[in-house]
Amino acid sequence: MKPIFVAIDTPDLNGAKQIAEAVRDHAGGLKLGLEFFAANGPEGIRQMGALGLPIFLDLKLHDIPNTVAKAVEALAPLRPAILTVHAAGGREMLRAAKAACPAETKVVAVTLLTSLDTGDLDDLGIRRSPADQVTHFAWIARDSGVDGIVCSGAEVRQAKTAWPEGFFVVPGIRPAGADVADQKRVVTPSVALQDGASILVIGRPITGAADPKQAIMDIGKGLDQAPAELRI
């Protein structure tokens, strides 16, 4: 599996297609989230899927179990490779989401957004460190039968220790020297893989580049030069 999923966060369907065409030979898939889905809906997802890359549908579903199950059933015809729900929805919601999903779709639970840090957790009344909070949610996700979690590269090593067979989606990836923008807990691609990431979600360093194809190729070269045991 090619480890890089390109996050295409735009409402512009034509622009999204252009980026996808540019990276298609070097990406493992495309991550499409709320911004894209709100503008283009299921038909936009179908059109992006027709380009031939696996689709990671990042909608972060979070509601009562029945509502989430019905939403997953409605999304099932799109056959996403990966679908996100929020771990904070609890065990019953996670079980309902997995039960409603097509067998080929991995359900992964979002643990802690990469825009949050210890201070934000304090504001929310959570006294755990980010790493401990992610690990706590990893246990819940594992016991609920979903396939894995979404966590930052700063916590993936500890989470993988808690759940060795889990599938770990790591966003907030930034090549060395790149602008971190609104992300707070970032790591480089090679460090994320070394620490246990299954796939890397990379957006702006690729989609915001003057040449997205060259940008993903440069990141891929860095991974190719990593020790063999770090590659997927």
Residue range 78-128, pLDDT digits in tens: 999 999 999 999 999 999 999 999 999 999 999 988 788 888 888 988 888
Mean pLDDT of 28-55: 98
Instruction: Give the CATH number for residue 224.
Output: 3.20.20.70
Residue 98, judged by CB atoms within 10 A of its CB (0-12, 13-18, 19+), counts as buried
pTM of the model: 0.89
Pick the catalytic residue: 60, 70, 184, 213? 60
The confidence score (pLDDT) of residue 11 equals 97
- Rounded Cα distance between 212 and 210, Å, is 6
Overall number of domains in the chain: 1
Whether 2 sits among the annotated catalytic residues: the reply is no
By C-alpha distance, which of 90, 117, 106, 189 is closest to 148?
Answer: 106
- Residue 15: which domain range? 4-230
